[in-house]
């Protein structure tokens, strides 16, 4: 009996003594690849369509160096369009009221290397048929419906921007999510191009987002089959790595941009062309069950002292003019470059 007892004590001691943290050595391969994020659309605002050029960096770095001084040309069926660099690594293609035909992006970097995209057809998204919410599972789930009568869209992506009203010592203000995970669905296996009840987001019943007024604007994109596969894999690489039993990330996820002057040089990124469609949903606390909202301590006081308003998006009294006040910077907001998370930088 004593031997058995000693054995049971000895085994955990040996186990614990053998356990230690493992710190893998950083990879020493080249990380100076060109990263291209180009979204050409007829709905990208008065300034035109954003194109962002940068370089990959090691995982230990938090700075993404811009690719400056490049010449960027968008080739269309109707001719070539020069894209102006308005800030370091940020370029703009002039606004186009309609999008049709095929497009090619040509980039000549300051060191003389030439990069070229595949031929990309314009893929215009059909309207969002409806954007709505349902009360379920202890919260609010937001859905979007869509269809394409021509049966040509098939592959879809949704993301969103949101604002929710909170209170600060100076009055109402709006907070916003800093990160949004895109949603992908396709109707490739269906006889008709119809997608119903696509779950966009879920908000828990105690979330401060539901304290008073919550607003969400959903952006819907129609993708080619290749773009759909690429961005799905890109999102999986960004979201599903890190666990022992997790899937291995893709090691050659490059996109549709290639270095034509030196095929051995890798480029990362994607050219997308097409009109997006949007829809906005407003949710008011008065229309919801009497849920107890988990607010910061200051918000529980009357009047509220400090609700941790954080980054104020804009005042409740003047939401419509925010984009104009922000100027050109709004063109390169998170909404315009939702894809750069996971693609723009770390290799």
pLDDT by residue, tens only, the chain of 347 residues: 555 555 444 445 444 545 566 566 655 666 789 999 999 987 666 678 999 999 988 877 778 899 999 999 999 999 999 999 999 999 999 988 888 999 999 999 999 999 999 999 999 999 999 999 999 989 999 999 999 999 999 999 999 999 998 766 666 677 888 778 899 999 999 999 999 999 999 999 999 899 889 999 999 999 999 999 999 988 887 765 555 555 655 556 779 999 999 999 999 999 999 999 999 999 999 999 999 888 665 554 444 445 554 433 333 333 333 332 233 334 444 444 444 333 333 43
Q: Specify whether domain 34-123+227-273 bears CATH 3.40.720.
A: no
Separation of alpha carbons 95 and 208, rounded Å = 38
Backbone angles phi, psi at 34, to 5 degrees: -75, 135
pTM of the model: 0.77
Closest-CA residue to 50 (of 18, 86, 79, 15):
86
Q: How far apart are CA 95 and CA 347, in angstroms?
A: 32
Q: What is the pLDDT of residue 77?
A: 94
pLDDT of residue 26: 58
**Distance separating alpha carbons of residues 224 and 123, to the nearest angstrom:** 7
In terms of Cα–Cα distance, which of 344, 13, 2, 340 is closest to 180?
Answer: 340
- What per-residue confidence (pLDDT) applies to 213? 92
What is the predicted pLDDT for the residue at 4? Answer: 56
C-alpha 267 chain-centroid distance: 20
In our burial notation (b when 16+ CB lie closer than 10 A, e otherwise), range 98-122 reads: ebeeebbbbbbbeeebebbbbebeb
- The whole-angstrom separation of Cα 233 and Cα 294 is 35
How far does CA 184 lie from the centroid of its chain? 12
Residue where the block lists tokens 């180009």: 38
pLDDT score recorded for residue 132:
98
Could you tell me which residues come within 8 angstroms of residue 303 by beta carbon, excluding any fewer than 6 positions away? none
Domain extent listing, the chain:
34-123+227-273, 134-223+290-330
Cα–Cα distance measured from residue 180 to residue 200, given in angstroms and rounded to the nearest whole number: 10
- Confidence at residue 156, expressed as pLDDT on a 0 to 100 scale: 98
Q: Which two tokens stand for residue 121?
A: 């057809």
First and final CA of the chain: distance in angstroms? 57
Q: Rounded to an integer, what distance in angstroms lies between the CA atom of residue 268 and that of residue 152?
A: 27
pLDDT for position 243: 57
According to the model, what pLDDT value does residue 244 have?
Answer: 54
The confidence score (pLDDT) of residue 110 equals 96
**Main-chain phi, psi angles of 184, to 5 degrees:** -120, 135
DSSP secondary structure, 145-197, as one string: EEE-TTS---EEEEEEEEEEEEEETTEEEEE--S----EEEE-TTSSS-EEEE
């Amino acid at each position: 009996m004593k031997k058995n007892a000693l054995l049971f004590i000895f085994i955990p001691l040996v186990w614990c003594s053998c356990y230690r943290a493992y710190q893998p050595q950083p990879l020493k391969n080249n990380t100076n690849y060109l990263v291209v994020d180009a979204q050409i659309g007829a709905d990208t605002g008065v300034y035109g369509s954003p194109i962002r050029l940068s370089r990959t960096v090691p995982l230990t770095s938090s700075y993404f160096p811009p690719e400056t001084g490049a010449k960027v040309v968008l080739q269309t069926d109707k001719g070539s369009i020069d894209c102006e660099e308005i800030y370091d690594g940020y370029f703009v293609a002039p606004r186009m009221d309609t999008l049709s035909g095929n497009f090619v992006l040509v980039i000549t970097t300051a060191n003389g290397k030439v990069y070229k995209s595949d031929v990309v057809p314009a893929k215009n998204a059909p309207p969002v048929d409806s954007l709505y919410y349902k009360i379920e599972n202890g919260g609010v789930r937001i859905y979007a419906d869509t269809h394409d009568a021509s049966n040509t869209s098939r592959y879809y992506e949704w993301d969103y921007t949101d604002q929710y009203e909170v209170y600060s010592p100076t009055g109402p203000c709006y907070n916003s999510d800093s990160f949004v995970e895109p949603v992908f669905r396709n109707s490739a296996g269906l006889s008709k191009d119809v997608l119903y009840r696509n779950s966009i987001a879920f908000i828990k019943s105690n979330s401060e987002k539901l304290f008073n007024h919550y607003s969400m604007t959903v952006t819907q994109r129609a993708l080619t089959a290749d773009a759909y596969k690429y961005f799905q894999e890109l999102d999986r690489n960004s979201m599903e790595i890190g666990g022992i039993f997790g899937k291995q990330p893709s090691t050659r996820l490059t996109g549709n941009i290639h270095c034509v002057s030196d095929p051995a040089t890798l480029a990362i990124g994607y050219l997308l062309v097409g009109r997006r469609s949007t829809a906005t949903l407003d949710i008011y606390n008065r229309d919801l069950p009497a849920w107890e909202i988990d607010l910061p301590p200051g918000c529980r006081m009357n009047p509220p002292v400090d609700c941790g308003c954080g980054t104020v998006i804009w005042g409740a009294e003047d939401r419509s003019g925010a984009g104009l006040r922000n100027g050109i910077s709004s063109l390169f907001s998170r909404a315009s470059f939702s894809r750069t998370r996971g693609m723009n930088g770390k290799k």
